[in-house]
Amino acid sequence: MQATWREGNRFELLPEGKRFWPAMREAIETARRFLWIELYLMESGALADRFIGLLQAAAARGVEVKLVLDGLGSLALSRHDRQRLRAAGVELRFFNPLAVTRLGGNLMRDHRKLVIVDGELAFTGGFGIVDEFIDAWYEVAVRIRGPVVADWMRLFADVWDSPLTRHGRRRSRLARQISPASALAPAAYPGMRGRAISGRGHRYQAIRLSLQGRVSTARERLWLCTPYFVPTFSLRLALARAARRGVDVRLLLAGGHHDHPGVRYAGQRFYGRLLKAGVKIYEFQPNFIHAKFSVADDWVSLGSCNFDHWSLQWNLEANQEIEHTGFANDVAELFERNFAASRRIDAEAWAKRPWWQRIREWGFGTLNAWVTRLK
């Protein structure tokens, strides 16, 4: 599906779980017709128990509930919880379950995070149904209203009817149930322009191409937040060039609190050259920052996509892009608060880092390079 810019939307920034979880819970509780949900991570625990309860209640009052989970990201969802969902009437499907017969094919994952309510409201970000998302991880989401919701519905329908998700079921033609975006274009939200943009692994890299285009054309500021920073060579080159031409380039990355420390070390091997080019690098200190969002002048991208080879080349990803001065300034203020809670990497000190740190960078960087060649 081609990503089309839509006028007449309303976007609300929801930083931290204390903001977006209550908003999503309220939306699910008030759903009248249908709930379409697509997630990478869902693990049994306290949050999953509450979430399943919400879906059970929705199905009991006659709401159609469709739930797509990634075959790898949902491995820790117990059989009991899966049975609870199906017994309640939730239509549950899994994207690309692991198979020993096709090792390379297992690398492609559905990394999207999406909640759609009645075709009127949507949420996206980096969230999952895992207990850590409540207290231990820093996350950001966006609430979406307006004609772009129809595009998010099409992205969901595309995955729902994918051969990797249907597993032999008859194609439902879910996309035919979606009204044209023009029919969902209320004049109540003037001035907020946006588009739902997706990435479909190695076959379709719209998110990567859009990001690199913005990096190349940014004039004043280019601030990127990602927990997994293992960028492609072309993106590293574009970031360095932007900094050299005077753009304020800053990276907000995960610090010592990390769910995959090896990924952090693999990305740190690029710090030296980026710092030399004038890129400012900050490592977030309070907890693990799992959010994925960017601002380039008055453009914002927020969603599921990380700046690593997995997201940019292999995974199914989806971001909400927004062109709006006020929203971009709100995101910039959020960045500033997070920069203040971070440790800025000093170029001179980094050049003198100990030998054991360099060995970790080399080791995990070599491993990452090897894994990226599997496909």
163-198 pLDDT, tens per residue? 888 776 767 777 666 766 545 545 455 679 999 998
Pairing of β 121-125 and β 140-145: antiparallel
Question: What span, in angstroms and rounded, lies between the C-alpha atoms of 334 and 327?
Answer: 11
Strands across the sheet containing 221-226: 193-200, 316-323, 299-303, 293-296, 221-226, 248-254, 280-284, 342-344
pLDDT confidence of residue 204: 53
Q: Which helix (H) or strand (E) holds 25?
A: helix 17-29
> Which residues contact residue 150 at a Cβ distance below 8 angstroms, ignoring those fewer than 6 apart?
119, 178, 179, 180, 181, 183, 184
Q: Are 253 and 223 in contact (CB under 8 A)?
A: no
List per-residue pLDDT tens for the chain, 375 residues long: 678 999 999 999 999 888 899 999 999 999 999 999 999 999 999 999 999 999 999 999 999 999 999 999 999 999 999 999 999 999 999 998 887 776 667 778 899 999 999 999 999 999 999 988 777 789 999 999 999 999 999 999 999 998 888 776 767 777 666 766 545 545 455 679 999 998 765 455 788 889 889 999 999 999 999 999 988 888 899 999 999 999 999 999 999 898 888 889 899 999 999 999 999 999 999 999 999 999 999 999 999 988 776 666 678 899 999 999 999 999 999 999 999 999 999 999 989 988 898 988 888 888 776 766 654
DSSP state of 6: B
Is residue 287 exposed (0-12), middle (13-18) or buried (19+ Cβ within 10 Å)? middle
Residue 27: both structure tokens together:
């939306």
Predicted pLDDT at 168: 67
| Phi/psi of residue 279, nearest 5 degrees | -75, 135
Write down the pLDDT at residue 17.
82
pTM, to two decimals: 0.92
| Digit-coded pLDDT (tens) for 101-119 | 766 677 788 999 999 999 9
Q: How many CB atoms lie within 10 A of CB 233?
A: 8
263 within 8 A of 270, measured Cβ to Cβ: no
CB 207 within 8 A of CB 319: yes
Separation of alpha carbons 283 and 242, rounded Å: 21
Q: Computed from CA positions of residues 18, 19, 21, 26, in that sequence, does the dihedral angle turn out positive or negative?
A: positive
- Please spell the DSSP secondary structure of 215-264, one letter per residue: HHH-SSEEEEEES-EE--HHHHHHHHHHHHTT-EEEEEEE-S--S-HHHH
Confidence at residue 169, expressed as pLDDT on a 0 to 100 scale: 73
Contacts of 52 (CB under 8 A, 6+ apart): 81, 84, 85, 88
Give the whole-angstrom CA distance, residue 55 versus residue 85.
Answer: 8
Q: How many CB atoms lie within 10 A of CB 187?
A: 7
Query: Please, what are the domains in the chain?
Result: 10-195 (3.30.870.10), 201-371 (3.30.870.10)
